[in-house]
Chain A
Amino acid sequence: MPPDDQPRLLGIGCHLPGVAVGNDALASALGVDADEMARATGVKLRHHAADGQGPSDLALEAARDALSASATAVGDLGLIVFATATPDVTFPGAACYLQDKLAAPTVGAVDVRAQSAGFLCALDLALAFAQLPAPGGGADARYARVLIAAGEVLSSGLDFSPRGRDMTARLADGAGAAVVGHGDRGPRVRSVRWYTDGTLADRFWCEYPASRQYPVRVKLQNLDEGRHYPKADLDALGPVVESRLAEVAHEVLQENGWYAGQLDLAIVDYVAPDGARAAARALGIAAEKTVVPTADFGHVMAGGLLMALARSASGLRSGARVLLAAAGPGLAWGAAALEM
């Protein structure tokens, strides 16, 4: 497709709730020393939503920024796609809540679940709708503006005791939003590639509630045992994630005839910042051009890439080349190439 026909992220936004929670604030509950926690996790701080705040509340703030930056009226939206693994309630999804909070028209609203590849999945889908042909020729006008939201409230599902220290120090809350469509501003999406490997599903997961458990999907015993908290075998996953991230990043660079040295920015998101940096290094991307969302505000699964992009975008020149890459539970991983 000629570059001028490629849909863009016409406006983007990021929202981090409340005040930053430093390592000092968590260390004693988790039974660790704050400096040791910072060294072990590589996470400087994170944000936690208030009681009563779901991902739709965080996305609302981000979406208002994205709509305003793209000069899009809420009434012009044709579809809302929300990537999250932690919806406000079990059902309906966060997209329905966001639609109501935005006072959007009765267009489609859908939650997609692809964990840390959630934004890439939602982007892939939004681009597909934005590129749909109309029956009589041209683009299907119904999807001229698609709103993507991507975010999590993970903090309400974390174990704030020494048992939970591996995950609780690393997982965090936040949301990003983007308006996708054809236009003359915002980064062009040159390519998106993402994959899953479900054979690794139980290496990084949150098991309960589990509908597969007969006869009741969540029992008191499951809660007592803490099986409703996320768990990960990061030692086992590390090498796999580093090579998958490098592979998929290489794939999107190659599709565009780009090489790593030409990148103006690489945003690489994984729950372990060292793993993300190792993948960037393996690709030959300089450390000063690499942004690692987890280090800056914890791992927000679906939200991290878009949030970090929104925070960095204003500093980039027109034409700048940006790589996004993320990996997380599923295993799900992927990458995108953007031209600012």
Chain B
Amino acid sequence: MAVARTRILGIGKAVPDNVVTNDALSQRMDTSDEWIQQRTGISQRHHITGDTGATDLGKVAAEEALRAAGLGIADVDLIVFATLSPDIDWPSCACLLAAKLGAGRIPAFDVKNQCSGFVYSLASADAMIRAGRARRALVVGGEIHSTGLDLTTRGREVGVIFGDGAGAVVLGPSDDDQRGLLSTHLHAEGKFAEKLWLEAAASRAKPRIKPADLDGDNPSAFPRMQGKFVFKHAVTRFPEVIQEALAFNGLGVKDLDLLIPHQANLRINQFVAAGLELDESKVVNNIERFGNTTAASIPIALHEAVQDGRVRDGSIVCLAAFGAGFTWAAALLRW
């Protein structure tokens, strides 16, 4: 049966125990706490210390989300997993997570949309539920970046930014059609695909991965970024999509109680808040402690905001993301 509106019924998060400070990175590469903080606002991130997949963190986050919702895995009939760093090449993390949770036979798929992967996944699950094609969905964002970063001086521009983590929500029908997910807004501009990207393994190359991809001056098996170019587009697209989401619902910036932006760079988020004339108290930033966890950043930040009481019943909350693709997206919720 189709439903009028969906709502987040429970939320969870998980990060590895191991904290890697900027000072610890300075031991491995030519960088400094001051350099990293000034450019990104990051002072530490979490990295795994042994074989661990995005689905291992995702499982912990998903179990917390289910507990918070008062539901079991049997109450879920769809899993959407957002990641750009899957446990294995294929099949999907969603399949692996379903097995770890004992989900039985259900539809489960991965969304690969980088920094906006969680918002795209939330939009997908919302559409499936509202169209009556699913009843309740587990939506997970999870990444293990640390095994795919060049943590030497050669890779420092990108290597210092990313952290491992996962966040999960249970999405289901809202019993109050005024509350829940109000709308979602999805965008992309593939013209800039190679401004922030990870080339190898690349199916378009024969072979898709080879020893030379792992080494050399600029190895293609590590992510590469034109930071200034990305920054410039981020600070344009973020406010654009936030305004689009508000306008779609007949609301304005003054109605916004809390903005939960993707955590890519503190300077981007400060710039966006200033441009929107949004008080910093209405913007959630935790990149200082987690780095950029890509698809996991928004559910982790939302989890903290809920726990800290910054999200209250009736709050108008905007989740917004911009990143590789380029892709960008927003979701507006009345909590």
Contact A128 B204 (CB under 8 A): no
Contact A109 B325 (CB under 8 A): yes
Asked if B114 is at the interface of the complex by the 8 Å CB criterion, the answer is yes
Size band of the interface chain A makes with B = 35 or more
Docked Cα-Cα span, A53 to B202, in Å, equals: 10
Give me 19 A-to-B residue pairs in the complex whose CB atoms sit less than 8 angstroms apart, sorted by A's number: A109-B327, A114-B110, A125-B128, A192-B133, A194-B107, A196-B91, A198-B95, A198-B108, A205-B90, A210-B87, A211-B87, A211-B147, A211-B148, A212-B51, A213-B147, A214-B49, A329-B91, A331-B95, A334-B107
Docked Cα-Cα span, A70 to B288, in Å, equals: 50
The minimal Cβ–Cβ distance linking B225 to chain A, given in whole angstroms, is 12
Q: Residues of B contacting A111 with CB < 8 Å? A: 111-113
Q: Residues of A contacting B183 with CB < 8 Å? A: 135
The minimal Cβ–Cβ distance linking B46 to chain A, given in whole angstroms, is 13
Contact A89 B95 (CB under 8 A): no
Contact A212 B186 (CB under 8 A): no
Asked if A45 is at the interface of the complex by the 8 Å CB criterion, the answer is no
Asked if B193 is at the interface of the complex by the 8 Å CB criterion, the answer is yes
Docked Cα-Cα span, A108 to B96, in Å, equals: 27
Q: Which of A33-41, A97-105, A267-275, A305-313 contacts B (4 or more CB under 8 A)?
A: A97-105
Choose from B86, B147, B206 the contact partner of A51 (Cβ within 8 Å).
B206
Docked Cα-Cα span, A234 to B144, in Å, equals: 31
Seen from chain A, the residues whose Cβ lies within 8 Å of a Cβ on chain B are 49, 51-55, 57, 79-80, 85-93, 95-101, 106-115, 121, 124-125, 127-129, 131-133, 135, 152-157, 192, 194-199, 201, 204-220, 223, 228, 329-332, 334
Choose from B94, B148, B199, B214 the contact partner of A89 (Cβ within 8 Å).
B199
Q: Which of B33-41, B98-106, B272-280, B306-314 contacts A (4 or more CB under 8 A)?
A: B98-106
Report the tally of A-B residue pairs with Cβ distances under 8 A.
295
Interface hits, B115-140 → A, CB 8 Å: 120, 123-124, 127-128, 130-133
Q: Residues of B contacting A108 with CB < 8 Å? A: 120, 123, 186-188, 327, 329
CB-CB nearest 5 A-B residue pairs: A108-B186, A198-B99, A54-B204, A212-B53, A96-B190
In this complex, the member of B2, B108, B189 whose beta carbon has the largest number of chain A beta carbons within 10 angstroms is B108
Docked Cα-Cα span, A218 to B209, in Å, equals: 10
The minimal Cβ–Cβ distance linking A255 to chain B, given in whole angstroms, is 13
Contact A196 B106 (CB under 8 A): yes
Contact B198 A91 (CB under 8 A): yes
Contact A208 B88 (CB under 8 A): yes
Choose from B98, B113, B190 the contact partner of A198 (Cβ within 8 Å).
B98
Contact B88 A210 (CB under 8 A): yes
The minimal Cβ–Cβ distance linking B85 to chain A, given in whole angstroms, is 4
The minimal Cβ–Cβ distance linking A26 to chain B, given in whole angstroms, is 15
The minimal Cβ–Cβ distance linking A177 to chain B, given in whole angstroms, is 16
